Amino acid sequence: MTDITTAAALWWAVIASGIYHGVNPGMGWPLAVSAALMERKSGSLARALLALALGHFLAMAAILFPFTVLLFLAEWQSAIQTGAACLVIALGVYLLINPRHPRFLARVPPSRLALWSFLSAIAHGAGLMLVPIYLGICRTIETDAGHAAASDLMTGNAMIALSVAVAHTLAMTASGGVLAVAVYKWLGLRFLSKSWFNLDVVWALSLILVGIISLWSLH
C-alpha cells in the first residue's frame, strides 16, 4: 500500500510540474500568442503550441532515457538517484546565482519554436527536474534484479520514462495553452505586457526542493 501511495504522489508530481512549466512564461506560451497575433490566424496559435509541446517532450525524453540505461545497474539505483538529486540541487543553486537566460536562445528564429522549446527546457533544467521523480517511480516497482532479464528492465523503465514525458508534456501544454488562448482571445497584448511574471527564482528554488525531497525519500 505504501508503494502505491508513493507512486500516486510521484505521478501527481509529474503532472504538477507540467502545469508549473506550462504557466511559466519562460517555457514559451507568450511566443505562441505572438505568432498568432502576427499571422492573425487562430490556427497559428494551435500550431505554435504543438511545436512548443514537441520540443518540450523531446527535451524530457532526451534527459530521461539515459537514466533508463543506467538503471540496468539495479543494485546501484539508490546511488544513481542520489547523484541525480545532487545534480538537480546544483543546477538550482547555479540558476539562483546566475539567473540570466542563455544568450543562444535569442539566436533561434521564432519560426523554429520546437527547437527553441527543446533548447529552453534543456537549458533551464526542466527535464532534469523530472529525473528524481522518474527514478522514484521506478523504485516503487518491485524488480528482482537477480532474475529479471536486462531486456525486461530496459523495456519497463523505458515505458515509464515515456509515460512520464507524455504526462508531463500534456499537463504543460494544457496549462500554457489556457493562458495563451485567454491572452489571444480576450486579454490582449496589454495584459501580456503589464502582467508578465518572472518565475526564475521560484524555478531555481523548485529545483533545489525537488532534489532535497528526492534525497530525503531515500532514507
Query: For 74-105, what is each residue's pLDDT tens digit?
Result: 667 778 888 999 999 999 999 989 877 667 67
Other Cβ atoms less than 10 A from the Cβ of 54: the count is: 17
**pLDDT band for position 151 (cuts 50, 70, 90):** low
**pLDDT band for position 63 (cuts 50, 70, 90):** very high
pTM for the complete prediction? 0.88
**Whole-angstrom Cα distance, residue 19 to residue 2?**
26
**pLDDT band for position 131 (cuts 50, 70, 90):** very high
Q: For the purposes of burial, counting CB atoms within 10 Å of the CB of 123, is it exposed (0-12), middle (13-18) or buried (19 or more)?
A: middle
Instruction: Return the domain boundaries, the chain.
Output: 2-217
Q: What is the DSSP string of 102-159?
A: PGGGGGS-TT-HHHHHHHHHHHTTHHHHHHHHHHHHHHTS---TTTS-HHHHHHHHHH
